[in-house]
Structure 1
Amino acid sequence: MKKLRFAIIGCGRISYKHIEGLVENKDAAELVSTCDVKLDLAEAKKEEYLTKMNDSSLKVRIYEDYKVMIENEDIDVITIATESGYHAEIAIYCMNKGKHVIVEKPMAMSIDDANEMIEVAKKNNVKLSVAHQNRFNKPIQKLREVVEEEKLGRIMNGTARILWRRDDNYYKQAPWRGTWDLDGGTLMNQCIHNIDLLQWMIGSEVERVYAECDTFKNKIEAEDFGAIVIRFKNGAIGIVEGSAVVYPKNLEETLSVFGTEGTVVIGGLAVNELKTWRFEGEDEESVKKDLQVEIDSVYGKGHTPLFRDVIEAVNEDRKPYVSGEDAIVPLSIILAAYKSRKTGMPVSFPFNNFSTLDMK
């Protein structure tokens, strides 16, 4: 397998997971450059990589301008961990330069931008993957297995509960957070992972979405609490409860799926703990024992297998496990929820382009 050369654009809060993904795939990946408009952050990420690799002789160059970096470096894959509002612009530029891309969620802030990203990837024959890393969690993979085997019977409904705490300090650390220009609110930032898992397990196109949102506590433009009801074309109903104002700290992130022949609940800090596994003739406790995952943060452990999958997708010339086509679905649900909030009405699918900027 060809060893791929990586670069990171955006060296803030989540980028340490990108370093982790590269270090833990060091047999097949190497970091050649880091880039951030704040050079000290790019330098810090370089040093973090060298320290974790335990090899200060490795050549990693730092850049302030990603366009200059692309012209000067031999790069196979670029990972993008900037503010959300810049994801589409940077990804499209990189792919038009023939680079494979891993982009943090959300892939874009509008449906049109997300569709353009997908088309640009196809046009340039490059891979586009979106960091919905929780799809790789062991309990999630086990649930997906029984969904594909139809062991749940008819899936009637599912719930995604994201009950977290983000206080003023979180938003002050990075003023772009909670803005319509660059972030969106709790649904877009904190809830998109679990919304992705919910729709993935229900496995149907969306028929319509209705939402109620509010900004109860945090001094931000967007919502710090959102509730969504999703009707799927297969008849199933999805319910999303997303909060960033749980007192006094993060409580849970839980995915529940209810079928006529089974019930599954996966919880923990980042849908990493199997809580309920009820199927006729199956020993719930033994299944739970084999599937627990220890994590160190809400980001979980999924970046490492996600990076591995992209490396293999490039080498095997296949579609990534989490593609742009996959990631546009949860994005569309959230944008429909924002449109519903603005109009006070349910939003039927398909619907015309909508952006977080339309909420201003």
Structure 2
Amino acid sequence: MNFAIVGCGFIAKKHALAISQIEGAKLVSVCDKVSTAMEYYILEYGAYAYTNIEDMLQNEVIDVVCICTPSGFHASLAVQLANAKKHIIVEKPIAMNLDDTERIIEACKDNNVKLTVVHPNRYRPVVKLLKNILDEDLLGKISHANATVNWNRNQEYYDQAQWRGTKEYDGGVLMNQAIHNLDLLLWFLGRPDQVFSYEATRLRNIEAEDVSIGVIKFESGVLSTVEASSTVYPKNFEESITIFGEKGTIKIGGPNALYLEHLEIEGKSQSEIELLKESIRKDPWGTPGHQLLIEDMIYAIKNNRLPSVTGEEGKMVLKLVLDFYKSAMTNQPIQFIKEKEYVVN
């Protein structure tokens, strides 16, 4: 399949590398308003470069387009590409508001094209292990959980581009970094019922938040805390998810939530647990999540099934972030309104 990338910043390199590792996939073109941003892809992958997306669509045979632009541009590009009958891989978040998200989803449905949102952490070995433990009900009834992202994004990071840290085009730590962990909480624990949150901008000179503390009550009754920050000195400190059940406790953690930090399950011996921990330590990253997500999109197209991460799931986690923001703004709990059934695999 022929791929194109729109937006040639940092994250686009992960897409390009992933495409190059997949048999039968080829990066044929890239598009960016800044011509110098595309030089790497021309030299490294032989891609044709365009500063105008209409020219690229007219001149190239493209099956799938990866949208890697600032988040505020996702919606307009996705609708345009869907109308051009291109399958779409869009970086998180799917959009910056629910109206734009609906436009994307409807355009893809109307044009019968596939849509997936980039949440590659689902493919990490330790995350897949945790999901299997939950699916097999090894922890029993879940009482509560917590997700933590205490990272460093210094002022230089935000000063790289004018759109970084803005509410219109980027968002803060919750929308940008912790959205992956929120996606995992939804994947693990199901639909939220109510949220409450405090947001603050403490240390970074940005419009959006650099610290967020929140609580989720799930429809199942599970309670979860969410702590996120981009203010930690001097580097990433912790990314973790902990789940507490009646028959066990599991924590995945480290600076990037790659390791099995704690596991106790009724009936499992210490030697069994140590073997699981060691299996994760040997290859904590596994196959890159971007590669597996793109491979899944190819399989979904060929077999006419939904991608593993659907547009509706992208909408669900975006709504959760927006409800956190609304709660912080109003200082009130926010009911997670059941607008429609979401597709959750």
* TM-score normalised by length of structure 1: 0.90
Q: Deviations over 1:232-283 (max 9, x none)?
A: 1110112110010011111121111111112111112332211112112222
The equivalent of 2:216 in structure 1 is 230
Q: Which amino acid aligns with 2:336?
A: F
State how far apart, in whole Å, the 2-side matches of 1:342 and 1:351 are: 21
1:288 aligns with 2:277: yes
1:212 alignment counterpart: 198
**Structure 1 residue 351: deviation in Å?**
7.5
1:295 deviation in Å?
Answer: 4.6
The whole-number CA distance in structure 2 between the counterparts of 1:349 and 1:280 is 34
What is residue 49 of structure 2 aligned with on the other side?
62
Q: Which residue of 2 aligns with 1:179?
A: 166
Query: Contact conserved, 1:134 with 1:193, CA < 8 A, in 2?
Result: yes
| Long gaps (5+) in structure 2 | 340-345
- Does the CA contact (< 8 Å) of 1:134 and 1:270 recur in 2? no
Do 1:34 and 1:43's aligned partners in 2 also have CA atoms closer than 8 Å?
Answer: no
| Alpha-carbon distance, 1:49 to partner | 2.6
Extract unaligned runs of 5+ from structure 1: 51-59, 353-360
Q: Is the 8 A contact 2:125 2:285 kept in 1?
A: no
Alignment-mate amino acid for residue 280 of structure 2: L
Q: Which amino acid aligns with 1:162?
A: V
Corresponding position of 1:191: 178
Off by >4 Å, runs of 4+ in structure 1? none
Q: Which deviates the most, 150-159 or 96-105?
A: 150-159
Separation (CA, whole Å) in 1 of partners of 2:212 and 2:332: 15
**Paired AA for residue 319 in structure 1:** L
Q: Which letter maps to 2:205?
A: K
Structure 1 residue 334 and structure 2 residue 315: aligned?
A: no
Deviation at 1:47, TM superposition (A): 2.0
Aligned to 2:32: 36
Partner residue in 1 for 2:342: none
- The 1:273/1:332 distance shift into structure 2, 3 A limit, reads same
Amino acid at match of 2:213: A
Q: Deviations over 1:201-222 (max 9, x none)?
A: 112x211111101000100001
Change in 2 beyond 3 A, CA 1:270/1:49: farther
Q: Distance in 2 between matches of 1:37 and 1:137?
A: 33
Could you say which residue in structure 2 is the equivalent of 1:126? 113
* Match among 290, 304, 311 for residue 324 of structure 1: 311
Larger deviation: 329-338 or 149-158?
149-158
Q: Within 2, Cα distance between the matches of 1:114 and 1:141?
A: 27
Contact 1:78-1:99 at 8 Å conserved across structures: yes
Number of the residue aligned with 2:19:
22
Give yes or no for contact 2:89–2:115 (8 Å, CA) kept in 1.
Answer: yes
Amino acid paired to 1:78:
V
Aligned length: 335
Give identity over the alignment, percent: 41
**Alignment of structure 1 residues 1-360 onto 2, 5 Å:** 4-25=1-22, 27-50=23-46, 60-203=47-190, 205-282=191-268, 283-292=272-281, 293-295=283-285, 301-350=288-337
Tell me if the contact between 1:276 and 1:284 (Cα under 8 Å) persists in the aligned partners. Answer: no
2:93 & 2:324 partners in 1: Cα distance? Answer: 15
Instruction: Give the counterpart letter for 2:17 in structure 1.
Output: E
